[in-house]
Structure 1
Amino acid sequence: MGQSVIKLKKQELKKVVEHYKPYSSSKKPPYSILAAKTNGCAITIYESGKVLFQGSTHAEEAAKWSDGADQPKQKSNHQNMPDFLKKDHIGSDEAGTGDYFGPITVAAVFVTARQQALLKELGVKDSKSMNDETIKKIVNDMLQTDMVYSSLTLNNEKYNQLQRRGWSQGRMKAWMHHHAIQNVLGKLEDGVKPSGILVDQFCKPDIFYNHVQATGDKPRRDLSFMTKAESYSTSVAAASMIARYRFVQEMEKLSKVVGFDLQKGASKVVDQQIKRIVNSRGQALLDKIAKVHFANTKKAL
């Protein structure tokens, strides 16, 4: 079983504890603050500040918190800053991975050096810093430009099928990023070649390549990876906004199916909505609207 270990500062450790509390286990190892399990990963948080991630998704789960670790992670980003960020390049990002309800969506966008200024003027930046209504407005403006993009949606029914076949969420994401990038490259005019391709990093590059290879596709070896890439790359920021926009659209469709607004994330409110759906429509519906392997299913039932 693979594992990752990071050490966090006190303030960041509190955030991690709060995040994993809904998935906590009653059994805790000695000197630990919290033991939890979610998304195929066992997490143990120790009094020393160390956090242990074990399981098939250990790398992706640890990557969520690496920027707050006692390591020069941000410095590493600057040291490895690709030289093509202000040139024509492709960026890719995803949405919906931590949400119980709704699909995973991935977008890849090719932005030229000329288009970068225009997209910034339209308000393109990290989608996590904006509400859904703002994202909708900006994306609608973005889609009127001549930028080349591709967006993919992995619906819940297919997601659950792949998960039961042994696919980790990391493999699904890598598979989608790979195909979104390939789609964009296929749409470019003859002779147009990006200066680089940047993926918002959710796992180590070698793991990403292994994930793609495990799906039967040949991985590209010309990719660059950065954590929080949307803060540095206009292409990735545009991709993050399109991915979020598509995710919100799908959530609105699923909300109409159940008859009320589905909650994003994986909180206790989600657990209550699961009970409501199961009581009124039956458990089978969850397979079409949710990531059923999340701990929320078991807790709600």
Structure 2
Amino acid sequence: MIILLNKNQLASAKKFYIDYLVAKIPPYALFSAKKNGTTITGYLSGKVLFQGTNAETEGAALSKFFGLKSSETATTPPLANLSLLGSDEVGNGSYFGPLVVVATFAEEKMLPTLRKLGVKDSKMLKDPEIKEIAQQLMTILPYKTLVVTPKKYNEYQQKFNAVEMKVLFHHHVLTQLAKELPVKPAATLVDAFTTKASLTKYSKTHNLTWPQPFYFVEKGEQQHLAVAAASMIARKLFLDYLEQDGASLGLPLPSGAGAKSDLVAAEILRQGGLDLLGEHAKLHFANTQKAEKLM
């Protein structure tokens, strides 16, 4: 939960939590406090962030103190101009090829450069453009990748469902990159691939702690260039893998999960059966059964 305050109100909010203040505060913050299982952080921008089990209750109490209306609070603050850690994945909907998860860190000072390069939601660009821009991004941005090959994906799929896997993979690249950064990001943003309830469920199951402040929102590529950059790098790595894998197999591997994938899968089955197909495709897709029928 977020409450927006002016400069004077922010100073008063610090006094409001005088008995609960903690010594360590994040960058760009005026204060941080812990009360009733909730962490309250007041940023110099005027945003007061509530995180924890009683976030809504604490947020309502401070709102009441200042006489704020509900319309003056928000669940997600403006993020576009912050130094932000973001992640996205590509390949989830493709039968062939890997699942690629990428995290990037885009500092505020780098945002004009990213805009000039043409970084945006990868769905708005053609693949050749994405590959060209992504190649440049990989030389100027800190990033961390996880390329889950089809063979490894199929092994994970025996233990975890698709959403659970992505929770684990996003957490891995984000936390690994966060450890290597010389500065703490102002926030972390993940492009939402499931409901917040599912994210919370699997985070608890695997005891995962996400870099804070943490946001999980739909169309994350449009919220911040860090997520858009992660999406573009992931798309490039996915396409490169698909091309190289197809070349080694002697068959062009299509992206997606359409009828072309069924035909190619049927040919792979003819050449080496399900074991060979499992090295190149995500076997739990319905394409596997369709290819077997084509056989």
Q: TM (normalized to structure 1)?
A: 0.69
Q: Aligned in 2, Cα 1:96/1:243: closer, same or farther, shift over 3 Å?
A: same
CA distance in 2 between counterparts of 1:222 and 1:212 reads 15
Amino acid at match of 1:183: Q
Query: Does the aligned pair in 2 maintain the 1:124–1:237 contact within 8 Å?
Result: yes
1:144 alignment partner, SS class: helix
Whether 2:117 is the aligned partner of 1:126: answer: no
Amino acid at match of 2:196: P
2:147 alignment partner, SS class: strand
Amino acid at match of 1:159: Y
Q: What are the residue-to-residue correspondences of 1:14-29 with 2, within 5 Å?
A: none
> What's the % identity of the aligned pairs?
35
1:263 alignment partner, SS class: coil
Residue 175 of structure 1 and its aligned partner are, at CA, apart by 0.6
CA distance in 1 between counterparts of 2:245 and 2:204 reads 32
CA distance in 1 between counterparts of 2:79 and 2:258 reads 39
The corresponding residue for 2:89 is 94
Query: Does the aligned pair in 1 maintain the 2:254–2:260 contact within 8 Å?
Result: yes
Residue 217 of structure 1 and its aligned partner are, at CA, apart by 4.3
Correspondent of 2:176 among 173, 183, 189 = 183
Correspondent of 2:281 among 280, 284, 290 = 290
CA distance in 2 between counterparts of 1:154 and 1:79 reads 36
CA distance in 2 between counterparts of 1:248 and 1:160 reads 19
The corresponding residue for 2:65 is none
CA distance in 2 between counterparts of 1:278 and 1:218 reads 39
The corresponding residue for 2:163 is 170
Query: Does the aligned pair in 2 maintain the 1:163–1:169 contact within 8 Å?
Result: yes
Whether 2:190 is the aligned partner of 1:199: answer: yes
Amino acid at match of 2:157: Q
Correspondent of 2:267 among 276, 290, 296 = 276
CA distance in 1 between counterparts of 2:162 and 2:265 reads 21
Correspondent of 2:144 among 137, 150, 158 = 150
Query: Does the aligned pair in 1 maintain the 2:171–2:208 contact within 8 Å?
Result: no
CA distance in 2 between counterparts of 1:252 and 1:79 reads 44
Q: What are the residue-to-residue correspondences of 1:210-225 with 2, within 5 Å?
A: 210-214=201-205, 216-220=206-210, 222-225=213-216
Q: Aligned in 2, Cα 1:267/1:227: closer, same or farther, shift over 3 Å?
A: same
1:93 alignment partner, SS class: strand
Whether 2:217 is the aligned partner of 1:226: answer: yes
Query: Does the aligned pair in 1 maintain the 2:76–2:215 contact within 8 Å?
Result: no
The corresponding residue for 1:23 is none
List gaps (5 residues or longer) in structure 1. Answer: 1-77
Residue 293 of structure 1 and its aligned partner are, at CA, apart by 0.7
Residue 194 of structure 1 and its aligned partner are, at CA, apart by 0.8
Amino acid at match of 2:151: E
2:279 alignment partner, SS class: helix
Q: TM (normalized to structure 2)?
A: 0.71
CA distance in 1 between counterparts of 2:225 and 2:242 reads 26
1:199 alignment partner, SS class: strand
Residue 296 of structure 1 and its aligned partner are, at CA, apart by 0.6
Q: Aligned in 2, Cα 1:245/1:217: closer, same or farther, shift over 3 Å?
A: farther
The corresponding residue for 2:155 is 161
Query: Does the aligned pair in 1 maintain the 2:138–2:233 contact within 8 Å?
Result: no
CA distance in 2 between counterparts of 1:219 and 1:210 reads 12
Structure exhibiting the larger radius of gyration computed from Cα positions: 2
CA deviation digits over 1:78-134, x for unaligned, max 9? 954433331111111000000000111011111011101101101111111222211
Query: Does the aligned pair in 2 maintain the 1:84–1:195 contact within 8 Å?
Result: no
Q: Aligned in 2, Cα 1:176/1:252: closer, same or farther, shift over 3 Å?
A: same
Amino acid at match of 1:200: D
The corresponding residue for 1:251 is 242
List gaps (5 residues or longer) in structure 2. Answer: 1-72
Residue 140 of structure 1 and its aligned partner are, at CA, apart by 1.2
